[in-house]
Amino acid sequence: MPNDVLTFKRGGVHPEDRKYLSSKKAIEILPTPKEVIVSLSQHLGAPAKALKAKGDKVVKGEKIGTASSFISAEVHSPVNGTIKAIKKVTLANSVSCDAYVIEVDQEAPEVDFVKTEWKNKTKEELLATIKDLGVVGMGGATFPAHVKFSIPKGKEAEYLVINGVECEPYLTSDHRTMLERAEGVVEGIMIIARVIGAKKIIVGIEVNKMDAIKHLREVIEASGYQIQVQPLKMKYPQGDEKQLLSATIKKEIPSGKLPLDIGAVVSNVGTCFAVYEACAKNKPLFERIVSVTGECIKEPKNVLAPIGTKIGELIDFCGGFTEEPDKIVSGGPMMGFSFYDLETPIQKGTSGVISIKIENIAPQTACISCGKCVQACPIGLMPTMLYRNINVGAYDMALNKYSLMDCKECGSCAFVCPAHIPLVHTFKFGKKMARRKK
């Protein structure tokens, strides 16, 4: 292990990572499905406005939805085909939105995307391409990338910090991206650095991915770019922007502020690759790598699949279930949402489809005031006091005295709680009630 390993200051937990299930498997390409379901809400913010109607023919990469407000993003067809219907779908995060059901034309010729030299483009042109080709944060947050990379007047992005942490258990899609697509990731990093005007670039990677650290360093050295690859200790939730910046640049984001307020922009490695494909290949974001894994999957894999693929098809591609899972999670098990059914499509932010058994479901007991949740909280909150106040309806107290809105819902407190209290569920409920009261 290298001796320059860093981590964030406060709290954090060490869940068993279980990445061995899929981390050694090279990315496999899913054969194009017969049908995809592409939602107009692929991103944080307002859903895109539909540009197509039932019966319209679409070509792979064609724009089918356009940003409907400042925080919104373009949506492109991941396949050649015909729009069979526009219907309401419920996504894993419980959001209900309009989606295109596209019947795939398997006979249509493959679409070629034209390579361009991104270095000849201005930063305004690069930013416009990132917007036009629908790039959003691929780490799960799906914040529209062009909004994040637009630095407002009076602000400065001194640091660009790249998130190669992937601290959620099971997920390995970023790990495989760094191993198999490193050249594209590095070009994407330099494109973002040019757009935001960053002076210092750091890639943070946890030490359970030493092969990715080594490979990325080799690719960076060969490229001649000035990028530091920083090994980080394994600790959850290091992939959160707050913790990643604390670990890499030793700066803390104050309550209610953003990374840019301390001179930093954070971007995930998958987003860097998407930026590269957009700016150097003119390829819109219409596919992604998904970790299809968990103890209940026969052959866990990382799969490159069109956005809109139903999770059932991904699971079939990985040999199906070994046994009935207790739940199938979108993203990682610490912060992810449960899928309702196998027809639910993947989105731009779906990093994983994790099928798991819940071992030893322990009954909830009363809080024993052990303080473990307080020690685990990376934000420095008092989860036990938040829980007590929300439980008796004292939402103002939870909000004003115990900073409820600073909670990232990371689940570290619930993970260590010996009383098995559903802390995160309570905090989500408390936030909803506090907003309603407001």
Contact track, ligand SF4, 362-401, x by CB under 6 A: -----xxxxxxx--xx-x-x-xx--x--------------
CB of 430 to ligand SF4, least distance (A): 11
CB of 362 to ligand SF4, least distance (A): 12
Per CB under 6 A, the list member of 419, 426, 430, 431 interacting with ligand SF4 is 419
By CB under 6 A, residue 252 contacts ligand SF4? no
By CB under 6 A, residue 412 contacts ligand SF4? yes
Per CB under 6 A, the list member of 279, 411, 426, 431 interacting with ligand SF4 is 411
CB of 176 to ligand SF4, least distance (A): 28
Do 65 and 74 form a contact (C-beta atoms < 8 A)?
yes
Per CB under 6 A, the list member of 303, 407, 426, 430 interacting with ligand SF4 is 407
Q: Which residue has the tokens 């036990």?
A: 384
Number of residues that bind ligand SF4 (CB under 6 A): 29
Per CB under 6 A, the list member of 194, 209, 408, 431 interacting with ligand SF4 is 408
Among 111, 102, 103, which Cα is nearest to 50's?
102
Do 53 and 86 form a contact (C-beta atoms < 8 A)?
yes
Choice between 101 and 407, CB closer to ligand SF4: 407
Do 202 and 249 form a contact (C-beta atoms < 8 A)?
yes
Stretch near ligand SF4 under the rule CB under 6 A, chosen from 58-66, 150-158, 324-332, 421-429: 421-429
Specify the amino acid at residue 56: D
Among 56, 101, 38, which Cα is nearest to 285's?
38
Per CB under 6 A, the list member of 300, 413, 430, 431 interacting with ligand SF4 is 413
DSSP for residue 197: T
Choice between 95 and 368, CB closer to ligand SF4: 368
CB of 357 to ligand SF4, least distance (A): 24
At residue 325, φ and ψ (nearest 5 deg) are: -75, 155
Would you give the end-to-end CA distance of the chain in angstroms?
50
Tell me the Ramachandran region of residue 310: left when phi exceeds 0, alpha when psi lies from -120 to 50, beta otherwise.
Answer: beta
Stretch near ligand SF4 under the rule CB under 6 A, chosen from 14-22, 63-71, 135-143, 420-428: 420-428
Angle at 268 between CA 39 and CA 137, to 5 degrees: 25
Site for ligand SF4 in 310-349 (CB under 6 A): none
Stretch near ligand SF4 under the rule CB under 6 A, chosen from 68-76, 180-188, 353-361, 403-411: 403-411
Helix (H, G, I), strand (E, B) or coil at 188: helix
CB of 369 to ligand SF4, least distance (A): 5
By CB under 6 A, residue 98 contacts ligand SF4? no
DSSP for residue 348: T
CB of 242 to ligand SF4, least distance (A): 9
- Integer angstrom CA distances of residue 162 from 42, 189, 201, 245, 289: 22, 8, 8, 10, 18
Rg of the chain over all Cα atoms, to the nearest angstrom: 21
Positive or negative, the Cα torsion across 177, 181, 185, 186? positive
The footprint of ligand SF4 (CB under 6 A) covers 367-373, 376-377, 379, 381, 383-384, 387, 407-413, 416-419, 421, 423-424, 427
